[in-house]
Amino acid sequence: MAVDDPGGGLYPPRLHTVGSSVMDEAGREIILRGVTMADPFFLADPGLSNHFCEADFSVLAAQWKAGIVRLPVHPDLFQHDPSYMERLLDPAVEWAGRHGLYVLLGWYAHGNPLTGKSERSDRAGVYPWHGNPYNADLGLARSALTALAGRYGEKPWVLFEPFNEPVWIDWRDWRPVAEDLVDTIHAAAPGAVVVVSGTDWGYNLEGALSDPVDRDNVIYSTHPYPGKGSGWKRVVRKLVETSPVIIGEWGFRRDACQENLDGTVEEYARPLLEFADETGIGWIGWVWHPFWEPPMLLSWDGYRTTEFGEVVRAALAGR
């Protein structure tokens, strides 16, 4: 997947979509599988994680055999930190590419971009937030995506996700917004691959069957957490006949406090991974961190894994 670089790194080649496949420049089909890390702000902050280093990307590439790392960018943090890209994304994107990993920059907005209604609308005064962590404002998304695509669009290993979890919006209203955001990215980064989430917290892609996003280089994404059931498989099975699909988020924790995350290896993780193998789709586990929920890691020390983390590591390594 990666190609040698005179500078000593391994930098993945640019991707594009052809029918239902994701291809690299050499015409090889690429199935993107990996993990989501925490927002780089959290990783770098001494009071939050205090763990922001190239070693993580080396471990994910060499030991976990990941092919992609997703970096969630919270609108609130991006909006209020003028150095966010230079201080946080620049090194993370470089570290990933140097170790042969694709990077998905995810604009981590939750809500309805047409009304602005969003999850957790007021966290002002709760560090590190200034107000709305998941700000669904469409104008803010456009300006941020323009900046992100303009800065990283020429890096062939970078993909973009313009709106993480649309909710309180029907597909017929979300699809034109998704196209607008794809256009925003492509205006600054022509040909970039863009990952478009379904509605209902990124889960529901049924609308794409009859009313698809009419743009090039789009991958559809679903977020089938345990509480969502298995109906998504019927939709994805049909959608992959014509379009690339990725499981953009998935994860579980046995006896989780959050009902939506409560699952087991036998009833949730193994069937999901078997379905991904059967249909040939990619997936990105949530989340490679010791205390974000549901965690793949017990500790940064030795990158010890939870039950979920061990399932992901084994699946990436083909065990």
Q: Which residues pair with 118 in a beta bridge?
A: 111
Do 129 and 123 meet the contact criterion of CB atoms below 8 Å apart?
yes
Rounded Cα distance, 20 and 241, in Å: 6
Max CA distance (Å), the chain? 50
Q: For residue 73, is it within any domain?
A: yes
Q: For residue 10, is it within any domain?
A: no
Q: For residue 95, is it within any domain?
A: yes
Which residue type occupies 307?
A: E
Rounded Cα distance, 180 and 62, in Å: 37
Residues 6 or more apart in contact with residue 121 via CB below 8 angstroms: 131, 132
Specify the number of domains making up the chain: 1
Q: What is the pLDDT of residue 3?
A: 44
**C-alpha separations of 107 from 117, 203, 263, 309, 310 in Å:** 16, 16, 27, 24, 27
Rounded Cα distance, 112 and 115, in Å: 6
Q: For residue 219, is it within any domain?
A: yes
Q: What is the pLDDT of residue 256?
A: 77
Rounded Cα distance, 261 and 227, in Å: 7
Phi-psi region of 27 (alpha: psi -120 to 50; beta: other; left: phi over 0): left
Q: For residue 21, is it within any domain?
A: no
Per-residue pLDDT of the chain (319 residues; tens, 9 = 90+): 444 443 457 899 999 999 999 999 999 999 999 999 999 999 999 999 999 999 999 999 999 999 999 999 999 999 999 999 999 999 999 999 999 999 999 999 999 999 999 987 788 889 999 999 999 999 999 999 999 999 999 999 999 999 999 999 999 999 999 999 999 999 999 999 999 999 999 999 999 999 999 999 999 999 999 999 999 999 999 999 999 999 999 999 998 778 789 999 999 999 999 999 999 999 999 999 999 999 999 999 999 999 999 999 999 999 6
CATH of residue 156's domain is: 3.20.20.80
Q: Which domain holds residue 66?
A: 28-283
Do 32 and 246 meet the contact criterion of CB atoms below 8 Å apart?
yes
For helices 171-188 and 138-152, the axis angle rounded to 10 degrees is 30
Burial class (CB in 10 A: 0-12, 13-18, 19+), 215: middle
Q: What is the pLDDT of residue 262?
A: 93
Q: What is the pLDDT of residue 4?
A: 43
Q: For residue 309, is it within any domain?
A: no
Q: What is the pLDDT of residue 10?
A: 85
Q: What is the pLDDT of residue 61?
A: 98
Q: For residue 47, is it within any domain?
A: yes
Q: What is the pLDDT of residue 7?
A: 46
Mean predicted lDDT score pLDDT of the chain = 95
